[in-house]
């Protein structure tokens, strides 16, 4: 999009020995304006970030929803990549019921539910149980069939801290230089649970889980199964390496690609209140839960919707 004053698109520039890049993210303009113009039947949406995040009002997700409303919420999710709701006192049963309207639900093999709903995982953090989700990642990319989406409900939150940030992986891909896109478009990467979840297991436990969840390969550049858009699909938590590169090349390229999620202009940040809900497209975004509330207590519950094999 051109600068209306000069008629010339402003350019990003590099400076200093670190080659820091600054300047306007002009490739975000079209999507930012598209989202600003969208309207939905049955609810309103307040745009949160430039290309990601919408706060939904006017709908009660704790009760029965019509097929038409579910379809509109799905459309909204695909548009905004992550949507948020306030004041939704979900019981465990209603939480699972809402998530199931969008697809079959997965059961997480490492995180216990702590409820009578096995599809619901519980993150209960306090003085003796720290939060280790404060790194950019896409959930369960180590599965052959990773999650399509997730619904996270705030059961109990600290007075200050514990926000969650989300980053737009469409924007991350679109913002890469053309020569980088050309290089990575046909690459695949290895994903593995053990870097994170293996830390809680002994050798025998890791071997047992490896039988169930062997190393998997997914495209570095994934095509979203519903929108058809390309997005960047590597993360520091679960992506071990890119196939075909030596160690030095792998470290350099992985660092470049994973750093894209850290770009502030690609992000939105959500401040939790009790009974807030976040519903994100796990294919299109990465997320990071800030671990700045210790030793205060933070309790969240999540239901995840089974997706498709990345292609």
Per-residue pLDDT tens over the stretch 76-131: 999 999 999 999 999 999 999 999 999 999 999 888 888 889 999 999 999 988 88
For residues 95 and 88, give the distance between their C-alpha atoms in angstroms, rounded to a whole number.
Answer: 10
- The pLDDT assigned to 159 comes to 94
Q: 248-283 pLDDT, tens per residue?
A: 999 999 999 999 999 999 999 999 999 999 999 999
Task: Single out the catalytic residue among 137, 191, 224, 236.
Answer: 137
153 in catalytic set: no
287 in catalytic set: yes
Topology of the domain covering 24-306: Double-stranded beta-helix (3.60.130)
The two structure tokens encoding residue 19 = 């080659």
Highest mean pLDDT pick, 11-15, 130-134, 211-215, 291-295:
291-295
Q: What is the pLDDT confidence band of residue 6, given thresholds at 50, 70 and 90?
A: low
CB 12 within 8 A of CB 22: yes
Task: Single out the catalytic residue among 79, 95, 139, 191.
Answer: 139
pLDDT higher than threshold 90 for residue 212? no
Task: Single out the catalytic residue among 95, 153, 224, 287.
Answer: 287
Kindly report the pTM of this predicted structure: 0.94
4 in catalytic set: no
For residues 262 and 31, give the distance between their C-alpha atoms in angstroms, rounded to a whole number.
Answer: 19
The two structure tokens encoding residue 300 = 């969240």
- The pLDDT assigned to 204 comes to 85
191 in catalytic set: no
For residues 198 and 55, give the distance between their C-alpha atoms in angstroms, rounded to a whole number.
Answer: 36
Residues paired with 137 in a beta bridge? 287
């Amino acid at each position: 999009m051109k600068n209306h004053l000069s008629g010339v698109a402003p350019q990003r520039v590099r400076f200093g020995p670190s080659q820091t890049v600054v300047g306007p993210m002009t490739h975000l303009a079209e999507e930012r304006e598209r989202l600003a113009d969208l309207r939905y039947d049955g609810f309103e949406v307040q745009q949160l970030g430039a290309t990601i995040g919408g706060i939904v009002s006017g709908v009660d997700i704790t009760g029965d929803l019509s097929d038409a409303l579910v379809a509109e919420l799905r459309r909204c999710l695909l548009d905004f990549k992550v949507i948020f709701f306030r004041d939704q006192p979900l019981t465990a049963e209603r939480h699972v019921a809402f998530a199931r309207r969008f697809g079959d639900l997965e059961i997480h093999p490492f995180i216990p539910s702590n409820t009578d709903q096995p599809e619901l995982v519980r993150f209960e953090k306090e003085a003796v149980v720290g939060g280790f989700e404060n790194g950019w990642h896409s959930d369960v990319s180590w599965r052959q069939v990773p999650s399509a989406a997730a619904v996270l409900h705030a059961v109990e939150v600290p007075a200050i801290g514990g926000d969650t940030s989300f980053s737009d992986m469409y924007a991350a891909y679109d913002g890469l230089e053309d020569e980088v896109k050309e290089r990575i478009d046909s690459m695949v990467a290895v994903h593995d649970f053990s870097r994170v979840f293996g830390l809680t297991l002994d050798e025998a436990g890791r071997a047992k889980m490896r039988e169930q969840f062997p190393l998997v390969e997914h495209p570095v550049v994934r095509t979203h199964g519903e929108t058809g858009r390309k997005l960047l699909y590597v993360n520091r938590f679960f992506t071990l390496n890119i196939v075909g590169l030596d160690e030095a090349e792998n470290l350099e390229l992985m660092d470049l690609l994973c750093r894209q999620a850290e770009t502030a202009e690609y992000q939105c940040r959500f401040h939790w209140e009790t009974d807030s809900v976040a519903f994100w497209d796990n294919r299109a975004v990465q997320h990071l839960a800030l671990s700045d509330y210790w030793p205060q207590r933070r309790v969240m519950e999540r239901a995840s919707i089974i997706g498709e094999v990345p292609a």
